[in-house]
Amino acid sequence: MGKILWLASYPKSGNTWLRAFIHNLMSNAKAPVDINEMNTLTTGDSLVGWYRHLDPRPPLAWSREDVARMRRGAQLALVASKPETVIVKTHNALLAPHGLPIIQMDLTAGAIYVVRNPLDLVLSLADHYGVDIDKATQVMNDPNNGGLADGNIVFEIHSTWSNHVRSWTHKRHPGLLVVRYEDMLEKPLHTFGAITRFMGLKPSRERLERAIELSSFKNLRAQEEKKGFREKSEKGTSFFRVGRAGQWREKLSAEQVDRLVENHREQMARFGYLDAAGKP
């Protein structure tokens, strides 16, 4: 029995892109892997199926505290599902609600954490939730924020963007790799190469470059436009929207920028989203 390799991020930070890359790399495909078949290799820690054996009631009857108590059993089921490392997406913060840790460290092999500039992230989040930018900003600053249960997934704990980022990244650890969404865009060979090395993989340069291309935003969006994407929010216009950094400069007002910077200054500075003068 293996352990869990977590693919962790605040929602809309590039987790699905990372999963697509891993699928294309490990399948060594010549054409893009179907985005609607990604659960054949990676899975999610909030999928109801990992919890059903722990409570026979309908999933929507489970309280947040019920889910907190079941998370260890769900993660035991995850590690038992494969003889080797199981790759699991999570949008949960690394917290312990009700005194119960969300992430079971003794079942963890390591984690790749993707961080994204909150000034761009807020635009994707607004579209995903079907709200305006001001409301999305409030969501990102709400310590009680989480993904709501819907019968297919259990309740998630996101907290604020800053709390989420801090919870996963404040301690350096050899079992943790932190990558920036912007570096995935601007330095793909370097960044995705680091991801493969962290995972203990040694693909040829040709195979690495092909996996990067097959999982590019252009290919992901083309698939969604052709056949849809089952993970798209019903409220969102599309899952793969723009796929570039810096769009906030065209979309956010000065007041909206100031509010986000004020809310998240410390973590933004840590990851290079602010200059020496504290400006984005």
Residues 158-181: tens digit of each pLDDT? 999 999 999 999 998 999 999 999
Domain membership flag for residue 251: no
Structural domain total, the chain = 1
Domain membership flag for residue 167: yes
Q: Which domain holds residue 178?
A: 4-116+145-232
- For residue 178, the domain's CATH number is 3.40.50.300
pTM: 0.92
pLDDT tens digits for 71-105? 999 999 999 999 999 999 999 999 999 999 999 99
166: exposed, middle or buried (C-beta count within 10 Å: 0-12, 13-18, 19+)? middle
> At 232, which helix (H) or strand (E)?
none
Domain membership flag for residue 162: yes
Exposure string of 36-51, with b = 16+ CB inside 10 Å and e = fewer, is eebeeebbbbbbbebb
Lowest mean pLDDT among 126-135, 242-251, 266-275: 242-251
Lowest mean pLDDT among 185-199, 212-226, 250-264: 212-226
- Give which of 196, 161, 158 is closest to 179, Cα–Cα: 196
Q: At residue 252, what are phi and psi to the nearest 5 degrees?
A: -100, 145
